[in-house]
Amino acid sequence: MKLSTSRTMTNTLRPLRTTTCFLSCAAFALTGCAAFSQPTASSNSATGPAVSQSPVDPNVYVSQTIEVLETVTNHLPESARETDLKTALPNATEAPGQLRSCAPARESDTSASQTAMVYYIDTLATAITTATDQARLINDLTDELLQEPDWTVISTSPKISDHHHTLRSPTGLEVDIYTSVGDKARDRPDLFLVSATSPCFVPEPPYKAGDEL
> For residue 69, which of 18, 24, 101, 22 has the smallest C-alpha distance?
22
Pairwise CA distance, residues 33 & 22, whole Å: 8
Percent of the chain at pLDDT exceeding 70: 65
SS3 191: strand
Q: Mean pLDDT for the chain?
A: 75
- State the DSSP code for 80: G
pLDDT, mean of residues 78-106: 75
E runs forming strands in the chain: 12-13, 98-101, 118-128, 152-155, 164-168, 174-180, 190-197
pTM of the model: 0.76
86 within some domain: yes
Q: How many other β-carbons are positioned within 10 Å of the β-carbon of residue 173?
A: 25
Pairwise CA distance, residues 180 & 60, whole Å: 29
> What are the C-alpha distances in Å from 154 to residues 15, 101, 111?
24, 22, 30
**Which residues, at least 6 apart from 209, have a Cβ–Cβ distance to it below 8 Å?**
99, 100, 101, 118
Pairwise CA distance, residues 138 & 134, whole Å: 6
207 within some domain: no
4 within some domain: no
pLDDT, mean of residues 94-120: 74
pLDDT, mean of residues 183-207: 90
pLDDT at position 110: 55
What residue numbers bound the domain in which 62 lies?
A: 10-197
165 within some domain: yes
213 within some domain: no
204 within some domain: no
5 within some domain: no
4 pLDDT more than 50? no
pLDDT, mean of residues 75-84: 90
pLDDT digits (tens, 9 = 90+) for 150-186: 999 999 877 767 789 999 999 899 999 999 988 877 8
- Number of domains within the chain: 1
pLDDT, mean of residues 54-74: 91
pLDDT digits (tens, 9 = 90+) for 40-53: 565 544 334 455 57
pLDDT at position 118: 94
